[in-house]
Amino acid sequence: MFVPCGSSAPPDFEGFTLLLPAVSVGNVGQLAVDLVISTLDVPKVGYFYTDCLVPMVGNNPYATAEENSTELSTNAEVYSLPSKKLVVLQIRSPFVKNKYRSFCQTLLSWVKSSKCAKVILLSSSHAYQRDDQQLHGTPLRYLLTPAIQKTAGDLMQRLNWKEMEKVTAYPGVNDAELVLYIPGGGITKLLYSESCSNKIQMAVLLKFCSEGDNIPDALALVNYLNEWLQLIKSEQNSDATATPSQWKIPHSWRLLFGSGLPPALF
């Protein structure tokens, strides 16, 4: 459940867009959400209390060394920017086994009670498990629930976005049966299915990628999101997307691959 910071009254999220990541391959969604929070300087308004995530506590990931911040961060925190009608849920730890469905139900219950206008899930999927049709064109895909299809479907067409293709359930046996398959996507498919059942306006934006240095993937995904929401003004270039320099890299990303090698090794 949502717990506001301090003793202040819970903020009003009615009509807001909820942005959150799936804990998926390469942590691409989480990195993209980091870029949004850091660039827009979105203030923290609370946290999401749940037993579905592995407990975690750490330093403020958006503070610099000069700020000497004493603020701590937890496994699921909520940020809000009323000027853009945006609320962001950042997830920083993996899910506890067998708690996926419980988390989805709790999250969607909060979405309904807070009266958010729509939900956008940033995710990723294993590039090596694409089928033939998914190898063509852009590695970025989207999914829309029936509830948001009327309001966002036409826009996706104008943006020339590609919808996530369904694949055959049993290749070579029954090619007529098609299913939604998102390997490495974490809770993506489950949350999407639950949102369809609960008539939640939800969009999934995802990128096919592999594990490794996933900063370029995060930049590609957040630019994909920016084409739709226009969170920052894009510099005019060949593809009319925001350049990497326009996104503010969080200070904590210096430690994405751990600290440097100790000089004693040499």
Mean residue pLDDT across the chain: 90
- For residue 234, what pLDDT is reported? 74
Assess whether pLDDT exceeds 80 at residue 244.
no
**Residue 249: count of CB within 10 angstroms of its CB:** 17
Residue 250 neighbours by CB under 8 Å, 6+ apart: 34, 35, 37, 38, 61, 62
- For residue 20, what pLDDT is reported? 97
d(CA 79, CA 172): 47
Q: What is the pTM assigned to this prediction?
A: 0.91
Residue 218 φ then ψ, to 5°: -65, -40
151, 201 Cβ separation under 8 angstroms: yes
**For the CA atoms of the chain, what is the radius of gyration?**
19
d(CA 37, CA 109): 24
Report all structural domains of the chain as residue ranges with CATH numbers, in order of start: 17-255 (3.40.50.10900)
pLDDT band of 256, cuts 50, 70, 90:
confident
Mean pLDDT of the region 179-203: 95
Assess whether pLDDT exceeds 80 at residue 146.
yes
What are the pLDDT digits (tens) for 47-97?
A: 999 999 999 999 899 988 777 678 889 999 999 999 999 999 999 999 999
DSSP track, 228-252: HH--SPPP--TT----GGGS---GG
**Residue 260: count of CB within 10 angstroms of its CB:** 8
What are the pLDDT digits (tens) for 220-238?
A: 999 999 999 999 987 655 4
d(CA 184, CA 191): 14
124, 220 Cβ separation under 8 angstroms: no
Tokens of 28: 């691409």
The residue type found at 97 is K
DSSP three-state, residue 254: helix
d(CA 115, CA 51): 23
